[in-house]
């Protein structure tokens, strides 16, 4: 088995039952906002967001729009109950510690998931519902409940469980002002790929217009498109001639000889499927057109403009053969 052992159904069922036992339990103790809803924090927020709605900063404008006074932007909701960066290892949205020092229900749930191998986390959804405008002077508090834990799901990141937490925001009178559902995926990280299983080069988009080029490469030839109207060579292939407008074309087999017209040596960013440093050249073919290709069997520091090169069709994997260029005269297959 390459990824992970399949958990027998009964074991998965037993785990799910343990996880589901947390549904409906408070994630942790409720949190009281550190500051009342205030103009300074709102002003910083709307400046940062570039939101110039006057109801957030102008008392008269707010009243004219039917509000009792300046209102906070609804999406600031969580700002009013954040506990401060230094006081909360693990992130502001996590449930706080119980006063007793005992692990909160959320911590216990995550411990069960960790133990079962679901050690990675990514937030996936956040839905907020606003029940009334939050105004200057409000003092919010929040309570959170573990709403649901999904059965094991297969996702692009890996297999895992979605954990949804439901939060209720209340004001200084205990009245609800907003609710929020926050969903995370706790997943089993996929094992690092072995070298033999290394990522492939990105696949080229092989359209009707360019299929001949890759088929030619597979056959060991470098084919260049030629306008049947005026004879102009063109690359990359495209449907019509830019010179005479003809849609008719055939191909010529290039000799493969050319010179480096321009080049770069790529160090970063590094994309899977390539080796770095990666010299890439614009090669001017002796037939008179140019193409972009990898340079091989060359010290990147030795590449020069005007350097003579020769094409070689390289099978980079079972499916893909592409032309690359080596210095002319370099021994084929030299390391
Ligand atoms: Zn033409």
250, 224 contact by CB (below 8 A): no
28, 144 contact by CB (below 8 A): yes
Which pTM was predicted? 0.54
**Two domains, one topology: 11-37+72-85+101-187 and 196-327:** no
Q: What is the DSSP letter of 26?
A: B
| pLDDT in the model for residue 335 | 39
Q: Residue 237 C-alpha to ligand 1 middle, in angstroms? A: 13
| pLDDT in the model for residue 282 | 97
| Banded pLDDT at 124 (limits 50, 70, 90) | confident
Q: Residue 268 C-alpha to ligand 1 middle, in angstroms? A: 39
| pLDDT in the model for residue 92 | 46
Supply the angle between the helices 105-115 and 9-20 in degrees, to the nearest 10.
170
pLDDT surpasses 60 at 314: yes
| pLDDT in the model for residue 330 | 64
Q: Residue 227 C-alpha to ligand 1 middle, in angstroms? A: 5
How far is it, in rounded angstroms, from Cα 331 to Cα 335? 9
Q: Residue 254 C-alpha to ligand 1 middle, in angstroms? A: 18
Instruction: Look at domain 196-327 and name its CATH class.
Output: mainly beta
pLDDT surpasses 70 at 168: yes
| pLDDT in the model for residue 333 | 47
What mean pLDDT is predicted for residues 95-112?
A: 81
Q: Residue 291 C-alpha to ligand 1 middle, in angstroms? A: 19
Q: Residue 241 C-alpha to ligand 1 middle, in angstroms? A: 5
Measured CA distances, 114 to 121, 128, 158, 187, 209 (Å):
10, 28, 14, 9, 51
| pLDDT in the model for residue 334 | 41
What mean pLDDT is predicted for residues 11-35?
A: 91
| Banded pLDDT at 11 (limits 50, 70, 90) | confident
Query: Which letter, b or e, does each residue of 171-186 get, where b requires 16 or more Cβ atoms within 10 Å of its Cβ?
Result: beeeeebbbbebbbbb
With CA atoms as reference, report the closest residue to 109 among 165, 179, 167.
165
| pLDDT in the model for residue 265 | 96
User: Using one digit for the tens of pLDDT, what is the confidence trace for 265-308?
Assistant: 999 888 888 889 999 999 999 999 999 999 999 999 999 999 99
Q: Across all residues in the chain, what is the average pLDDT?
A: 88
| Residue the block writes with tokens 């590094």 | 270
What mean pLDDT is predicted for residues 301-318?
A: 93
| pLDDT in the model for residue 122 | 84
| pLDDT in the model for residue 1 | 42
Q: Residue 208 C-alpha to ligand 1 middle, in angstroms? A: 19
Domain ranges of the chain: 11-37+72-85+101-187, 196-327
The CATH number of the structural domain formed by 11-37+72-85+101-187 is: 3.10.129.10
What mean pLDDT is predicted for residues 17-38?
A: 92
How far is C-alpha 331 from the chain's CA centre?
Answer: 42
Q: Residue 257 C-alpha to ligand 1 middle, in angstroms? A: 24
227, 246 contact by CB (below 8 A): yes
């Amino acid at each position: 088995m390459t990824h992970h052992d399949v958990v027998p159904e009964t074991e998965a069922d037993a785990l799910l039952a343990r996880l589901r036992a947390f549904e409906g339990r408070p994630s942790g103790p409720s949190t009281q906002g550190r500051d009342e809803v205030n103009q300074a924090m709102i002003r910083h927020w709307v400046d940062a967001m570039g939101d110039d709605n006057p109801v957030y900063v102008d008392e008269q404008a707010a009243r004219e729009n039917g509000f009792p006074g300046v209102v906070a932007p609804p999406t600031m909701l969580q700002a009013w109950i954040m506990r401060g960066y230094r006081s909360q290892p693990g992130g502001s949205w996590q449930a706080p510690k119980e006063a007793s020092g005992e692990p909160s229900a959320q911590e216990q749930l995550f411990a069960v998931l960790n133990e079962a191998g679901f050690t990675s986390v990514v937030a996936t959804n956040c839905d907020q519902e606003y029940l009334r405008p939050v105004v200057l002077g409000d003092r919010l508090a929040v309570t959170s409940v573990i709403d649901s834990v999904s059965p094991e799901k297969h996702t692009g990141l890996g297999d895992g469980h979605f954990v949804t937490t439901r939060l209720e925001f209340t004001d200084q009178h205990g009245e609800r002002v907003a609710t929020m559902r926050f969903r995370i995926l706790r997943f089993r990280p996929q094992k690092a790929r072995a070298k033999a299983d290394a990522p492939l080069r990105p696949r080229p988009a092989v359209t009707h217009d360019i299929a001949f080029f890759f088929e030619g490469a597979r056959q060991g030839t470098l084919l260049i498109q030629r306008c049947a109207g005026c004879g102009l060579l063109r690359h990359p292939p495209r449907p019509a001639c830019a010179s005479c407008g003809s849609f008719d074309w055939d191909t010529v087999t290039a000799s493969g000889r050319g010179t480096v017209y321009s080049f770069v040596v790529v160090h970063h960013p590094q994309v899977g499927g390539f080796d770095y440093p990666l010299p890439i050249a614009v090669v001017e073919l002796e037939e008179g057109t140019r193409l972009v290709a990898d340079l091989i069997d060359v010290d990147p520091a030795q590449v020069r403009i005007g350097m003579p090169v020769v094409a070689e069709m390289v099978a980079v994997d079972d499916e893909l053969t592409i032309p690359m260029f080596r210095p002319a005269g370099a021994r084929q297959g030299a390391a």
